[in-house]
Structure 1
Amino acid sequence: MPRARLEELKQAVSLALDVHTSVEQRRRREAGLMALIDTTQQMAFRDDLNDLLNTATSQARRLLDFDMAWISLSLPDGGSYVHTSKGEITPSSVGLELATGFGLGEQVLRTQAPLWTSDYLTDDRFHHSPAIDEVVDSEGLHAVLAVPLTHDGTCIGALYGASRGRRHFSPDEVSLLRSLAAMAAPAIEETRRLERIQAALAKAENERSHLAARLNGLERLTGIQTRLSGMFLAGGTLHDILEMADGELRGVLVLRDAAGRTLAGTGDIPSADPERVVRALAESHAIGAPVALTETVWAMHVTTGVEAPGVLLFQRSTPLTEEELRLLHAVGQTTALVQLLAHSAGAAAGPARDECLDSLLAARAQPPRRMIERVRRLGLDPDRPHAVLVVRPEGAQQGEAAVWASSYTYRHRGLKTARGECLVLLLPAEDASDAARAAGGELSRVLGHPVTVGAAGVATGLGSLAKAHQEARRCLDALVSLGATGGAASARDLGFLGLLLSDEHDADTFIDSVLGRMLEYDSRRSTDLVRTLEAYFTSGSSPTRAAVHLHVHANTVARRLERITELLGPDWQKPANALEIQLALRLLRTRDAVYPGTTERDGNPVDRARARFPGTERAEESPGP
């Protein structure tokens, strides 16, 4: 065949192939366009984001013959996460977070342009993330194509297609996937917008339902409060009020006074720890609402203003709603009104407890009979000995402390009042120090803060309370000055300082508190420990010189000092203790010189020591030569 004819045939074949290729490309484009139209129609009827994304990834696999396709959506912090995946063989792809700066998709999101690789794991054009590489390796992927999902100039995510073999993507394939992403992005954003609107509508409906329920609850609460007011005005009893409230609250209600006595109730509630109840009362008074005493019991502070505060207890197994807590508060207020009405005659006949104690402390000129009448009417016995306590809470909780003081004095049949930042308590007591420690300890536990207490007494008769109050105040000031805040003491506890602070300057009591054991021992055993101790201090704390002064052997002085240590304690030679002992010795000698024979009279330190320090009968060692 001639060469010219052969060249013509080659050109004809080439043209035929070009025509075939062009026709095939047109056919694929037409097929792609038809698929895109079909995909658009499918996505148009999807109002669920998951269905929409599943459709987009499924069509991407079908159109471009991908082994796997997935969609990532952007996060507010700049990263993204895989929302939907099709064709995966492991569960690790969906939910995978694609950190900012890593992976193929990061460049697509940043540049908003398509990007592909024929072998992802070996491509060094982008930063690799170990987490992403692990998923790619576990899925066996090599070729990956990513196109941006863009809406209104904003990239909301990326559409990926991948093959498990190495593959070079043609421009038509890249263009087709990008067209699919361009149609999917508005639908995705619109669906997400609809979901946000639906979520906002659901939230608004929920809030509307909540507000409607609140309104119904408030209307119900208002109706119950009106019924409570009507019962009070109609003269309803405490039991009637609690019965009505019990029907609304569906639990057990018990009203108790400050002494723990049940005034009315619809059932039985076991008694709780008194300190815990007082702490709950203080908290309830502070916030003006019931507080949880246990998981199933609530306590409400009930105050009438004319007597110590009581407590309204409510018990049921299920928690209380906000409206039910308000109802419990209203019930407490109504019971207080009923009690106030019941005690109005008594309240009008006499002053409040605080005013009575203020009158006693101010020593106002009033007929003794009238004062005794007032005290007896408040439940006190004026013939009993009383201690006066001045209490200073170190924390800023004056209101809670006042509530506690009302309850405490009511329980102990005493009186209280407030003086500045301090509370003044008048309590029946045989020992002022014990009363101060008991009151201070309980209030400290209730408040959770230290409490300083100065005490004086025991006072007998109403006329001595003003002086006792001044002495207790001086003891409190002394504790504060000595840096002993949080302590409790009377003049007797402060040693020679207490002797100076006391109005009576009771030297006998001071001598008794320091030397009582030795005086009692010398009296019973006819020993000479007091004189030995005096000689010991006179000789500069030298046993040898003391023995010369006493005309006895040094061993005798040593044995006597051992016995003194047994009686006074091992710390008697410490400077502070030694100072008090020497002062007591000096007062003892001065008193004996001024009043000879004092140690033989009834009621002297020796007699008091025998009563306070029994059992000191051990025989003294025989003196040395």
Structure 2
Amino acid sequence: MPPQLTVSGGLDELLELLASGAPADAFEDFLDDARRFGVTGVATTDVKAAVWRAMRVHTQIQRGRVREAGLTALIDAARDLALPYDSVGGLLHAIARRARHLLSMDMAYITIADEEHDHVQVRAADGHTSGLSIGLRLPADDGITTAGPATTAPFATHDLLADDQVGLHPAFEEMVRVEGLHAMIAVPLGHGDHSNGRAPRGRLYVASRKVHHFTADERSLVGSLGILAAIYLETTHLRLAAEARAAELEARLAQVSRTADRFREQCDLQTSLVDLLVSGGDLRTLADRAAASFGGRVSVYTAGGDVLVTAGDGQDDGDDTAALAIAVEMLTADPASAGGGRWVAPLCAAKDYIGALVLCAPGDLSASARKHLRLYAQTAALLVRRDKLTSGHDGEVRDRLLDDALSDERRVPRLLAERARRIGLDLSRPYLMVVARPESSIQSRTNAWGSAYARRMGGLRSCRNGHLIMLLPGGDAGAVARDVAAAMASDLGKPVSTGAAGPLTGAESVQLGYREAMRCLDAVTALGVEGGAGSARELGFVGALVSADHDVAGFIESAIGPVLEYDRERFTDLVPTLQAYFDAGGSPTYAAERLHVHTNTVTRRLDRIKDLLGPDWQKPAQALEIQLALRLLRVRAALSTQPESRAVNS
């Protein structure tokens, strides 16, 4: 400043310093010059006051510029945080980075509360850190406690270790010393307004390795950043949750669409198969469609294992025996794997097995494909039944005649005879009624076997209450019962008890023959002969006396049990002696002749029998029970040997 500066010149220079944004040192230099050279017409104290006012204006201008820069940085941070982040972690890293640059500090980190485990975890960090790494767990209070009541407001300290108002957790204090931290400011990251007392979801920490007194503007900036960060965290969380929900809904929609497509395919296939039935299509057309649909070979078999039709390409070694065996044993119409790339679906009419559809195709079948195969099998069963009806040889029509005759005794015999005549069965000729009781595990196989056997013999077949009932031409009920029992034991692999009645003539005898055959079957079952067969002639009076409710084995044991036990243990012949004694009319002499032994031998045996059965064994009441027990033993022995001998002879 030149000597003797005028008032106007001094004001112009002060204004120029303010306008140019000169540093504070320039104003101090101006004041020094005014003191040395003076200002014309102005006292030194007035000059000094003017300079101090100018410096205050300068400070306000500089503060405004700093605020402007801070707000600009805050706006940039808001723009950065408003970007759509793929994860909350990415947003947290952006917040930490912006906070550190906003205050020009050394480091920044963010902790998120884990309320379930009562601790906080460092989720993001920016700047050079060695101890505050991502994933670090800290106490629930972040390792920092402040004097006074707990609050969610921001706090700041110029020096963590020297501030008496701040307490540090020992582990956190050690980390602060290692990091060399001094100044720190923290703001909560929550849901915006915390007036309801809800704890913040997390905290943002900005720290410096130098002692620093935070200004009000710095506190305001970092507080504003904390509010923005909380808002963006919440919106990002909601957006990501909405996107996850949308993705889940899209996945469900895709699943529903796939289900709808499969359902549409199923409906289209059902429609096409119904059209095939209505239009008079045949098994060949059905097999061709199935083979083209699955890309393999399709074969349709009868219940007897005969091939009805085969279509398509693929392995054709004819080895479908295992698949057919599985089909016979299946209790449902659902397809099953038979191994070797083969799938089998039984053809069923009501509960009867009438055949099987075998698919030989590469790879596995999906659930949808198995449903399609079941539809093809059901359609094949309908076509087989339709073809039998059309040809006039349908076994179901024949069997329905026997069902009707057994279910309604009031039917006019003449009408039944007429219906039988229409299918080629003359009920005026002798016929037999055969009833078998198979195990439940082979029920379906027995029914299928009975259908084939009845057709082969020119008779009828029915199923009632778990029994196989057959009306067969013939005149010897016992022989037919033994033939049927032996054939079932051979073909089915398990013994099946059988009862028979006849010969019968006339439609009016169907009910009578059925009841008599059932009584014979009950007698065979009550005698405990597994796989036994008999008619009224073989059973004699036993068939009329014994039913399923009586304990035959227990009766025999109570009557002659000690004698049976004595023979088993000592290999004696007391039971044959008893039989010979009663057959000889109670004469020991004639009994000895029958047994080809001496009379004294018979006498000694009778004395032993007396010791075993008691002194009253020859009295009429006990003697009758003994004779009945002996008779039952004979019948059981005869029945138990019949099926085996028949199987050997065949």
User: Where does structure 1 lack aligned partners over 5 or more consecutive residues?
Assistant: 1-11, 394-400, 443-452, 480-486, 535-546, 562-572, 576-582, 615-625
Instruction: For 1:551 and 1:302, locate their aligned partners in 2 and report how far apart those are by CA, in whole Å.
Output: 68
**1:590 and 2:611 matched:** no
For 2:515, give the aligned amino acid.
A
Pick from 135, 148, 165: which aligns with 2:189? Answer: 148
Please state if 1:69 is matched with 2:69. no
SS of 1:283's partner is coil
What secondary structure is seen at the aligned counterpart in 2 of 1:264? Answer: strand
1:149–1:155: 8 Å Cα contact kept in structure 2?
yes
Match in the other structure for 1:59: 98
Secondary structure of 2:300's counterpart equals strand
What do residues 215-244 of structure 1 show as CA deviations (whole Å, max 9, x unaligned)? 555555555444434444444331221212
* Contact residue 300 and residue 309 of structure 2 kept, 8 A: yes
Q: Could you tell me which amino acid in structure 1 is paired with residue 201 of structure 2? A: G
Equivalent residue in structure 2 for 1:389, among 430, 437, 440? 437
Shift, 1:176, TM fit: 4.2
Q: Which residue is equivalent to 2:537?
A: none
1:256 and 2:301 aligned: yes
Q: Is the 8 A contact 2:119 2:140 kept in 1?
A: no
How far 1:212 moved relative to its partner? Answer: 5.3
Identity %, equivalent residues: 22
Specify the code of the residue in structure 2 equivalent to 1:424: H
Choose the corresponding residue for 2:518, options 442, 465, 469.
469
Q: Deviations over 1:270-292 (max 9, x none)?
A: 44466753564x333xxxx6566
Deviations 1:339-371 (A, max 9, x none): 122111436797353651563587888589889
Q: Which amino acid aligns with 2:516?
A: K
Cα distance, 1:142 vs. partner? 8.0
**Per-residue Cα deviation, 1:399-440 (whole angstroms, up to 9, x for no partner):** xx9867644644776987565xx4222378649999999999
Pairing 1:304-453 to 2, within 5 Å after superposition: 304=349, 308-320=353-365, 324-345=369-390, 346=392, 351=397, 353=399, 356-357=402-403, 359=405, 366=413, 386-389=434-437, 406-407=447-448, 409-410=450-451, 422-426=465-469, 430=482
Instruction: Return the alpha-carbon distance in structure 1 between the equivalents of residues 281 and 575 of structure 2.
Output: 73
TM-score scaled by length of structure 2? 0.54
Paired residues of 2:434 and 2:501 also in contact (CA < 8 A): yes
Q: Is the 8 A contact 1:85 1:93 kept in 2?
A: yes
- Residue in structure 1 matched with residue 286 of structure 2 by the alignment: 241
Equivalent residue number for residue 348 of structure 2: 303
TM-score (norm 1): 0.55
- Specify the SS of the correspondent of 1:150: coil
Cα-to-partner distance string for 1:62-107 (whole Å, 9 max, x where unaligned) = 345354513538899999876545466699844x899xx9453999
Q: Could you say what secondary structure the match of 1:180 adopts?
A: helix
Distance of 2:364 and 2:132 partners within structure 1: 43
Distance 2:638 2:253 in 1: 83
Aligned with 2:332: secondary structure?
helix
Alignment correspondent of 1:160: 204
Q: Kindly tell me: are residues 499 and 220 of structure 1, through their superposed partners in 2, closer, same or farther at Cα, counting changes over 3 Å?
A: closer
CA contact (8 A) 2:191 2:200 kept: yes
Partner deviation per Cα, 1:471-499 (whole Å, 9 max, x = no partner):
656898999xxxxxxx989799xxx9999
Q: Which residue of 2 aligns with 1:457?
A: 499
Hey, what does 1:3 align to over in structure 2?
A: none
RMSD across aligned positions (CA): 7.0
Contact 1:298 1:314 in 2 (8 A): yes
Counterpart selection for 2:546 from 501, 507, 513: 501
The residue identity in structure 1 corresponding to 2:375 is: A
Taking the aligned partners of 1:466 and 1:477, their CA distance within structure 2 comes to: 16
Structure 1 match to 2:273: 228
Gap change, CA 1:441 and 1:147, over 3 Å in 2: farther
C-alpha contact (below 8 Å) 2:323/2:358 kept by paired residues: no
Q: Secondary structure at the match of 2:289?
A: helix
Query: Residue type of the partner of 1:244?
Result: R
Cα gap change, 1:506/1:478 in structure 2, threshold over 3 Å: closer, same or farther?
A: closer
- Show CA shifts across 1:562-602 (max 9, x none): xxxxxxxxxxx9x9xxxxxxx99956853799x9xx99xxx
Structure 2 alignment gaps of length 5 or more: 1-48, 471-479, 505-511, 535-540, 580-599, 614-619, 646-650
With over 3 angstroms needed to count, the CA separation of the structure-2 counterparts of 1:507 and 1:311, relative to structure 1, is closer
Shift of 1:158: 1.6
Equivalent of residue 78 in structure 2, options 28, 31, 40:
40
Aligned to 1:569: none
Question: What is the aligned residue count?
Answer: 508
